[in-house]
Structure 1
Amino acid sequence: MSPTLQLAQALIARPSVTPSDADCLDLIAQRLQALGFINERMDSGPESFRVSNLWSKRPSGHTNAAQGAIKTVVFAGHTDVVPTGPLAQWGSDPFVPTLRDGKLYGRGASDMKTSIAAFVVAVEEFLAHTPAPLLDIAFLLTSDEEGPSVDGTKVVVERLAARGERLDYCIVGEPTSVKRTGDMIKNGRRGTLSGKLTVRGIQGHIAYPHLARNPIHQAVPALTELAAMRWDEGNAFFPPTSWQMSNIHGGTGASNIIPGEVTIDFNFRFCTESTAESLKQRVHAVLDRHELEYELQWTLGGQPFLTPPGELVQAVQEAIAQETGLGTELSTTGGTSDGRFIATLCPQVIELGPPNASIHKIDEHIALADIEPLKNIYRRTLELLEAQARAGAAA
């Protein structure tokens, strides 16, 4: 059994349903400390929802005055997992890692405990061969990615920024692949902006509409206009910004009462061609033009980020090609990730992990054939970035 598989099993066996860490970070910190990493716990949040955070860094010990500071490579991820769902529907206990039909089953097998195990073993192998690299290597791990994402990576990044920590490259272990590990990586993500719109009318008897004002009737023309709007055209990396309603609720439940208000929940997934402020302004302009009496509460879940092809993307693509022969696809599709927080401090952030077909599902799993290639891709990426650093130092 490979060291990567062993560590993945040990992590899956810990029932770290968000925000619990179930001592995953302690296990990882022990492995990293043995490699010369300096571990810092940055736990955050109230005691009733305490989030575990680990920042662990191994300084290279080198300086390079001619080329500037030694570059830092960060491996980022989360130890928390989503709830299991009905246990009776699982083929095996979700927190008893099980090998069956060429797959490793368990909650977190794909999202993303195997990636974390692959991170650790890749670094162990890299340092065994290159004990004095020209790179600083760090880990940023949290137990609050599947939850509110308030006291996890966001807090760690804010603390690192406050003390002037420099990050150059970051690989997030999200499950990005489709059929085979390495066939797709994320080099950016769309932003997310949510709104809760309450349109007020005047409640009354449905038989006397002239004595009431129906907020649903008033809201529909504005909502129709918003649903038909073209917000932007996207770009080479992002699809056009989308606006979707997720919920409409109003009324008392009685069929003979005109409601006094209606509430609409909606969300933007926006690309770098739009900003949160520009989208807000356009929505308010439509609502005002329709002369609605309304209240609108906004929640910015994350800004879009993009890492254009450059040092990190090229290293990861080359590592994937060396290990698997695949030409990887760059993508910005899907939901949000903690990469949105890291990108505020780190100029080059990509996401790379195993196939995602079973994530959050009953019988979550990863094919055994995907585990070692994932670890090797991470190690090869370090080797390629190290070669870049040495070439720069020699120039």
Structure 2
Amino acid sequence: MASISAKLQQALAAREHSGLRRSLRQSELSQRSSDFSLNDYLGLSQHPMVRAAFRQAANEYGVGGCASPLLSGWQAPQAYLSKQLAEWLERDRALLFSSGFACNQGVLRALGGHYSVIHADRLIHASCYGSHKLKRFPHQAFDSLTERVAASDQAQLVLLESRYSMDGDELDWRQLGALKRKASQLDVWVDDAHGIGVSGDDGRSICGQLSQAEVDFCTVTFGKALGSNGAALLCEEVVADYLVNYCRDFIYSTAISPAQAAAVSAAIELVRSAEGRVLRQRLQDNIGYYQQLCQQHGIATPAAATSPIQWVPVGCPQITVKITERLAQQNMRVQAIRPPTVPEHTSRLRITISAIHDAEAIRDLVEALRAVID
């Protein structure tokens, strides 16, 4: 460490000076009703049915994956979840990964070499970065993307999100479908982390809008609306077989645990049920109520009216952090989002609305925002 410790301290000092240094903060379970930084959009992480499924599988199989999927880490709960996902989302296969980040990084490393260029929306998640072939285009600029794709008839890939994690806006899936239908050389990958369970018919999000022929790859994560951990890649049969043989992150990583898989399966059943429809409607009601109160109090709400990801623009990272600290003094947890997560000069308060928030908590939040912003 002596050889690099001074450089590390210098880098941390630079982050501190620019107001961009991060640190861990312990979250208290007792404050969940006033926590607006969670991605648990439907509150399923605490749902009795999901917790019971986890306990039952843990009692039967233990709490760990214990081996990679190709050794003995592929057991009945993981196999059932994989089949359940593929059938629900009408795809050939679903490969399970330990996280959405691991899924995106690992699969891109395994498949990236087969494409001449990888196009990526400017606001794509950080888990999609890394390839020297990656070329970013302006956010949601399908005209620009169409021109770039038309410039070559070689195999190309585009990376998109169904709902962008910082701005909260939805993918224009109609334009995407139109582009895909006329560009046979283009494969489409959609990261559905913030859409699955929340958006579309039956909570199916982008997979309910576009077929496998239109969206070749879809990353579904379990740590947002499904309330657990892990992720899956939905894809064609030949792609899944290739990845089982060539994706190092899949081959050499410990499988998600049977208990995790059972909890996700229970969450999917809830999402598809009448209760799931009630939770999605409650979420939309809460989003609408938040936006209504913000408009009454003159607080900017740039995000879409249907998005659980709301945000308040601030600009200066230091001020953004100070605002969150003042909110924390009132037991309100809101996340300060700063570069490099978002572009320079766009630091913001990221506010995630959930079905578990009640009207009082939302009123308290907006009143606290008005007080600290003024």
TM-score, normalising length: structure 2:
0.21
Give 1 or 2 for the bigger CA radius of gyration: 1
Larger helix percent: 2
